[in-house]
Structure 1
Amino acid sequence: MGRELHVAFRTLGKESDMKAFVRIAGCVAALWGCAVWAQEDYRPSAERAPGNLEPVQVDEPKKSSKRADTGLYAQLGGGAEGYTGQLAPRLDAGFTYGGAIGYRPLGFLGVELGYNGSVNNVDIDGNGRAGSLGEGADVVRNGGQALVIGNFTDAQLQPYAVTGIGIDDYNIRHDAVGREFGFNDDTSGYVPAGLGLRYQFGKLITADARVSYNFLFDQDFAPTSATPNALDGRYMGMLQIGGTY
């Protein structure tokens, strides 16, 4: 009887130990699972491991297809103007001014409509001794022109060539004295040919330096002693500031 009780107590003890071990293992597994869940969940998405992040597609900003040196532009400026050939001794160099509106559809090509004017004094005898027609400017010129511009490069610094056609209106001040010396109001045409250098400051501001020679159709506003030719023309140098839009 005593032996049977001893065996029964030993069997009961082993069952109790087994149950205790199972309980402990279950608690450890539960604690481990909670710890892992807490470690993965409590952190902000920015701090999580890269492997846990979902790929995010970022749209790159669209680049404008418009070039900085194309489009509509406007500019204003001033400079100096004088005459050549038979006209040079009779007209002193003077101040010129103007403005233009143009459009460049391509980096290498542009078209332009412009206004330019000038004020000059007359040298009555052509040798600088007899003076001018009177006080102030003797000849006031107003002109308009249509131009085609071809750029040699499409870089920030752009040399270019220009040609086209224009028309001038000459107004002789002190007209009574002017007619006495052969100067008269007149309207005539011309063909400009020139070279220029444009610099683009960013996407808006433009500086433009241009020199041109104008082949005059006629020179009836001033007296000439011989048949006019291509050398009896007008030169111009102008610096203009503007913008591209």
Structure 2
Amino acid sequence: MKSVIRMGLCVAALWSGAALAGDDSWKQPYGGSGQAGQDEPRPVYRTVERGADTGLYVLLGGGTDGYTGQLAPELNPGFAYGATVGVKPSKILGLELGYSGGLNDIDLAGPGGAADGADIVRNGAQAAVTLGLTPTRLQPYVMGGIGIEHFNVRGAGQVFGFQDDTSGYVPAGVGLRYNIGRLLTADARVNYNIPFEQDFAPVDNNIGNGRYQALLQLGGTY
């Protein structure tokens, strides 16, 4: 008798489990609130604004070179070109080495200058620090450093008191950089170069007789 009762209880338990397994009404819909037949929620995508890139960057570009003070009426603004290799260990700080060149005509020599082509050919190199004002992809910044440059006077430039010379300068400027992902970096900067030990021109060697440069450079950050 006891064996029959035990067997009956086992059959009843197995029957109840099978009935529940075949009934889907007890299951909670995936991603729902527990109500049968409710649609699954759609995923929500959020756009995250990237900040300024960090890492190694390389820039190439061109612009204009001009002079101030007593040099302004004697030398016409001319074409400038440059290349920059730098690294940004953070979104704000940048360390760079740069090359810059310039081509200028002597204004006192009349139309066309004192020689065919540029009368003054300048080549220089500098080390600079950039400091971003914001950590954003479109980043204004300030810069400063130290450099050395060589002036080569061509044609009859010596007649007007100019001569070959190697001197130093302190670049100080502002810029605006935009990182388009890591494929393209655009950089526009304007800097004033304060000369020291400069003797290529017949003017006083002071802060007012300096050189300005505006460059637009394109490159990438890696």
- Same fold? TM cut 0.5: yes
Match of 1:139 among 105, 108, 120: 120
Structure with max Cα Rg: 1
Aligned to 1:236: 213
C-alpha contact (below 8 Å) 1:124/1:131 kept by paired residues: no
Q: Aligned match of 1:169 in 132, 150, 155?
A: 150
1:105-141 deviation digits (Å, cap 9, x = unpaired): 111111100101011111235xxx4751121111111
Aligned residues: 194
Describe the SS at the equivalent of 1:208: strand
Residue segments in structure 2 that go unaligned for 5+ positions in a row = 1-7, 30-49
1:188 aligns to 2:167 (yes or no) = yes
Partners of 1:139 and 1:171 within 8 A in 2: yes
CA–CA separation in structure 1 for the residues paired with 2:69 and 2:120 = 18
Partner amino acid, structure 2, of 1:239: L
* Structure-1 residue corresponding to 2:90: 106
* TM-fit CA distance, 1:37: 9.3
Q: Which amino acid aligns with 1:109?
A: L
**DSSP-derived class of the 1:106 partner:** coil
Q: Name which of 91, 97, 100 aligns with 1:116.
A: 100
Give me the TM-score of the superposition, normalised by structure 1: 0.70
Equivalent-residue separation in structure 2 for 1:236 and 1:76 (angstroms)? 14
> Structure 1 residue 87 and structure 2 residue 64: aligned?
no
Structure with bigger strand share is: 2
Q: Which amino acid aligns with 2:144?
A: T
Cα root mean square deviation, aligned: 2.9
Letter in 2 for 1:238: L
SS across alignment from 2:198: coil
2:202 to 208, 220, 223: 223
C-alpha contact 1:68 1:203 (8 A) present in aligned 2: no
After superposing on structure 2, the runs of 4+ consecutive aligned residues of structure 1 that deviate more than 4 Å are 31-40
Letter in 1 for 2:199: D
What pairs with 1:20-59 in structure 2 (closer than 5 Å)? 36=19, 39=22, 49=27
Q: CA deviation at 1:35?
A: 6.4
Distance 1:68 1:124 in 2: 46
Deviation of 1:219 after TM superposition, in Å, equals: 3.4
TM-score when normalising by structure 2: 0.77
| Distance in 1 between residues matched to 2:18 and 2:144, nearest whole Å | 83
Distance 2:152 2:205 in 1: 20
Q: Which runs of 5+ in 1 are unaligned?
A: 1-24, 41-48, 52-65
> Partners in 1 of 2:15 and 2:140 — Cα distance?
76
Partner of 2:89, secondary structure, is strand
Aligned partner of 1:146: which letter?
Answer: A
Q: 1:130 to 1:101 in 2, by over 3 A?
A: closer
Q: Determine which structure has the larger helix proportion and give its number.
A: 1
